[in-house]
Amino acid sequence: MKTEMQLKLQAYLDGELPASESRGVRDLLANDREARELLTELSQTRDLIAAHEAGVKLPETREFYWAKIQRAIAPESQGGRQRSPGVPLLGWWRRILVSAGAVAAVAIAVLLSWSHATGGSDAVTISDGATLFTYRNYATDTTLVWLDYGSGTDFSNDSEGAKLTP
């Protein structure tokens, strides 16, 4: 039996079919044994469920119970609860501050990574005529140390080569 016919039998049992279709189902029941058996099974199942269905007792009348539900739904369908005028302003400030904080955090991270990537140099005077320069390149992870004694020392350019005594 087709599913469409099974659904019609269920609708016939529940009294949901129009009169013209009910006549067609009665004719089918008179001629088809399988349809009669299905209708009997559906009827028995409906009766069994109704006999063992737990009865729910409401503490108030049915009308009062549904009226409470309707009163709870009505304000939401009319646009929801009214908010205090300060709440949107607070939310606006919160959005602005969170956005500004995020931009500041990104800017600090970029500046820190930029200063490490470009490296830097420091000069330290270690004696009257000598200066120590250091240069750190973070990109290649190298350090250059340069000692500069200036032109007035014994280590300056000499035709015989550098002397090791100051």
Q: Whose structure tokens read 């240069």?
A: 135
Angle at CA of residue 52, ends 46 and 55, nearest 5°: 110
Convert the pLDDT of each residue in 98-121 to its tens digit: 888 888 888 888 877 766 555 555
Query: What is the pTM for the complete model shown?
Result: 0.35
pLDDT on residue 117:
55
Segments in the chain below pLDDT 50: 156, 161-164, 166
Give per-residue pLDDT as tens, 61-70: 888 888 888 8
Closest by CA to 35, choosing from 59, 4, 57, is: 4
Count of alpha carbons within 13 Å of 64, Cβ hemisphere only? 4
Reported as a single tens digit per residue, the pLDDT across 22-32 is: 999 999 999 99
Backbone torsion region of residue 124, taken as left when φ is above 0, otherwise alpha when ψ lies between -120 and 50, otherwise beta: beta
- The strand pairing partners of 135, in sequence order, are 121, 144
